[in-house]
Chains A and B, each alone.
Chain A
Amino acid sequence: QKEVEQNSGPLSVPEGAIASLNCTYSDRVSQSFFWYRQYSGKSPELIMSIYSNGDKEDGRFTAQLNKASQYVSLLIRDSQPSDSATYLCAVGNSGGSNYKLTFGKGTLLTVNP
């Protein structure tokens, strides 16, 4: 049973601070990793993808991957109230014939003005 674990939160940070969201996964052969943002009542929106160990930066977002520790994280710098949402971690077996993503249950982030 492939599992993706996230702290459900809520994680509360002040505006302008760094928000750190964490995710662990159980399947060692996982090769693709994604962060989705989901506003209340809306659909998941892809915000970051990462495939290699290390950091990947896109604007205020940085995804970090450590395959040896089976750990992926998302850092949001200069957090804004508009970042308040649930963040879903998803893990896939890119390149496998029976490819699909396994999602965590999400971490609720609240950014306080």
Chain B
Amino acid sequence: DARVTQTPRHKVTEMGQEVTMRCQPILGHNTVFWYRQTMMQGLELLAYFRNRAPLDDSGMPKDRFSAEMPDATLATLKIQPSEPRDSAVYFCASGFFRTGDDEQYFGPGTRLTVT
């Protein structure tokens, strides 16, 4: 049963601390997305990678957020320093991009609370 996995599932941290979230995409998928979901804003795209190369990170606050894909089985999203307004659920999704077949599958999410 192929699934996207994310760790940690929950994270509570104090303002100013560094937060690292990890994602393992579905084996064989070449595109990985990071989303943030809040009640007010809904689901927002932060960044995405194809074949491990960053394609778009325009949705990400550049001064504190960074996303990397050190290998095909791991994507990371870091926040440094964290702020209370970063409290949200962060989802990773993966898919195999090709014309006419671009479905994305979501991981279980990381629920981040910054106090």
Asked whether, in the complex, the Cβ of A95 is within 8 Å of the Cβ of B99, the reply is: yes
Chain B CB within 8 A of A69 CB:
no
Complex Cα distance, B43 from A105, in Å, reads: 7
Residue of B nearest to A93 (CB): B102
Of the candidates B31, B43, B103, the one having the most CB atoms from chain A within 10 angstroms of its own CB is B43
Q: Nearest chain-A residue to B104 (Cβ)?
A: A101
**Number of CB contacts from chain A to chain B under 8 A:** 49
- Rounded to whole angstroms, the CA-CA distance of A51 and B99 in the bound complex is 10
Comparing A10-18, A19-27, A41-49, A74-82, the segment that makes contact with chain B is A41-49
Interface residues of B in 64-95 (CB under 8 A from A): 91
Answer yes or no: B14 CB below 8 A from chain A CBs: no
Q: How far is the CA of A1 from the CA of B107 in the complex (A)?
A: 27
Q: A44-B106, A46-B105, A98-B56 are in contact. Are A51 and B100 (CB under 8 A)?
A: yes
Please classify how large the interface on chain B is, using the bins under 10, 10 to 19, 20 to 34, 35 or more.
20 to 34
Q: Is the CB of A34 within 8 A of B42?
A: no
Query: Which residues of the other chain, B, contact A105 by a CB distance below 8 angstroms?
Result: 42-43
Q: In the bound complex, do residue B97 and residue A34 qualify as a contact, i.e. CB atoms below 8 Å apart?
A: no
Q: Which of B43, B45, B103 contacts A88 (CB 8 A)?
A: B43
Closest Cβ of chain B to A42, distance in Å, is: 8
Which of chain A's residues have a CB closer than 8 A to the CB of B108? 42-43
The interface residues of chain B lying within 8 Å CB-to-CB of A36 are 106
Q: Is the CB of A46 within 8 A of B103?
A: yes
Contact indicator A100/B56 (Cβ below 8 Å) = yes
In contact, B103 and A43 (Cβ under 8 angstroms): no
Residues of chain A having any CB pair with chain B under 8 Å: 32, 34, 36, 42-46, 49, 51, 88, 90, 92, 94-95, 98-106
Binding site for A on B (CB under 8 A): 31, 33, 42-43, 45, 48, 55-56, 91, 97, 99-109
Can you add 16 more A-B contacts, CB < 8 Å, to A43-B108, A100-B45? A32-B100, A34-B103, A42-B108, A43-B109, A44-B106, A46-B105, A92-B102, A95-B99, A99-B102, A100-B48, A101-B45, A101-B104, A103-B42, A103-B43, A105-B43, A106-B42
